[in-house]
Amino acid sequence: MTAAGHGRSDVPIARVLGVSTAAAVGGFLFGFDSSVVNGAVDAIKGEFKLSELVVGFAVAIALLGCALGAWFAGRLADRWGRTRVMLLGSVLFVASSIGAGLTQTVWDLMLWRVLGGLGIGIASVIAPAYIAEIAPARLRGALGSMQQLAITLGIFAALLSDAVLADSAGSASNDLWLGLEAWRWMFLVGVVPAVVYGVLALTIPESPRYLVGRGRDAEAGQILARVTGEPDPDGRVRQIRGTLKTEAASSLRDITGPSFGLHPLLWVGIWLAVFQQFVGINAIFYYSTTLWQSVGFSESASFTTSVITAVINVAMTFVAIGFVDRIGRRLLLLIGSVGMFIGLLLASIAFTQVYKAVEDGETVSRLPTSWGVMALIGANLFVIAFAASWGPVMWVMLGEMFPNRFRAVALGLCTAVNWISNFIISLLFPTAMDAVGPAFVYAFFALCAGISFFYVRSKVPETKGMELEEMG
């Protein structure tokens, strides 16, 4: 199965899709870890008798590990190669899944979550970098979007497995198998995709750009010819070497520049990473079950609603894959910002109608049915807009917008910023919900979505169809 284009020989699509998919399984772990805690968070809160702030910290602390893993991943990838670092991420996540499932205190749960975060941070950097480096230019946007597709599938798998396990046990807090509660099995299930990721990392070829940087030109040429269908692999190797010849390994010196001490492109990447999290996407996927319960949905209905949202997330990512190389990265981001703003604003308005009621002697929050429908429409419109734009496109942009001389370190830094932003939102979300309510929280997310539109329009360049050697 091949496809022609732009004067090149046919591209073996099945082959390049295969290796891109294998690399993107790291994104699956990313998504799985992002949402597996969703179904477990209330049970963990009850098990260890935690406050909202400690719950938020226990959920969010994994993201500090992610930021650290992302930061070091770029440097490790330049030293060890992309595939070896993928294997390391797999091993770390296997250990974390087992440890979190068997945890005895909230403190060792935090430790295992940090360890898993290191693995996820590594995977989140390596997948887009590897795909960008091995994919032909005209297919790079679609293949780069495989990262986000894998993330959405991981989110779906985590929420679905959470719902099935909770339903099988009657509640996430009830015992399921081997004397372990359902919430523990939610973490243990993560061993399966982590092992698959490790096995796949052993089967895919190394990045041609890494090989050229190590003087392994013949091997790089063979991979270019076999995987991408490059008609002149020796010429492409010389082109890659030309961009690397006078460049040392990526370091912090490479990213310095005149814009507040940093290269202007790096600031674009940083702000893309910040906005992708400050619109609140992962707060929704970490806490959606808890959110819907807080406004009157049953546990079962909350799990079902979260799974439906995850299905929408997956479906709309295919839309992004279909359009990212047709209409470009920039336009998709702009459309997405508008859609996210409208969806979040609708949800915020709906949540202003939350009221307190006394049921069975307890004060609970409730949302009138019509306004509950509006909140669901708004939240899912937001997910539709995010999944079709900012979700995948940010990763595509980070994987391709930087020059070769500092791609790895810049991608690592921007991904670390993404994780830190995720940490801030995830840590503060439960406390903010308790302090000011969902209406104000979602209004803040809407504001960030609105600002992102104007930032993209004024600062973000288009990278559609450009070779990586042309960047910067």
Predicted confidence (pLDDT) per residue in 247-291, tens digit: 455 555 666 655 555 767 888 889 999 999 999 887 776 666 666
- Percentage of the chain modeled with pLDDT above 70: 77
Asked if 262 and 255 count as a contact pair (C-beta separation under 8 A), the reply is yes
Domain boundaries, the chain: 11-204+257-466
More confident residue, 57 or 383: 383
More confident residue, 472 or 359: 359
Mean pLDDT (whole number) for 149-153: 79
What pLDDT is stored for residue 278 in this prediction?
93
288 vs 310: CA distance, rounded Å? 11
Please state, rounded to an integer, the average pLDDT across all residues of the chain.
77
What pLDDT is stored for residue 260 in this prediction?
58
Could you give the C-alpha distances from 130 to 30, 195, 349, 455, in angstroms and in order? 16, 19, 42, 28
pLDDT confidence tier of residue 28, bands split at 50, 70 and 90: confident
What pLDDT is stored for residue 141 in this prediction?
66
The yes-or-no verdict on residue 200 having pLDDT over 50 is yes
198 vs 87: CA distance, rounded Å? 5
What pLDDT is stored for residue 12 in this prediction?
63
Segment 77-133, tens digit of pLDDT: 777 888 888 888 888 888 988 888 888 887 888 888 888 888 888 877 777 777 777
Give me 252's structure tokens. 């912090």
The yes-or-no verdict on residue 471 having pLDDT over 60 is no
What pLDDT is stored for residue 205 in this prediction?
80
What pLDDT is stored for residue 261 in this prediction?
59
User: What is the number of other CB atoms lying within 10 angstroms of the CB of residue 312?
Assistant: 18
Among 60-69, 143-152, 181-190, 276-285, which stretch is predicted with the lowest mean pLDDT?
143-152
pLDDT confidence tier of residue 386, bands split at 50, 70 and 90: very high
The yes-or-no verdict on residue 340 having pLDDT over 90 is yes
* 11-204+257-466: CATH topology: Growth Hormone; Chain: A; (1.20.1250)
Mean pLDDT (whole number) for 204-233: 74
The yes-or-no verdict on residue 355 having pLDDT over 50 is yes
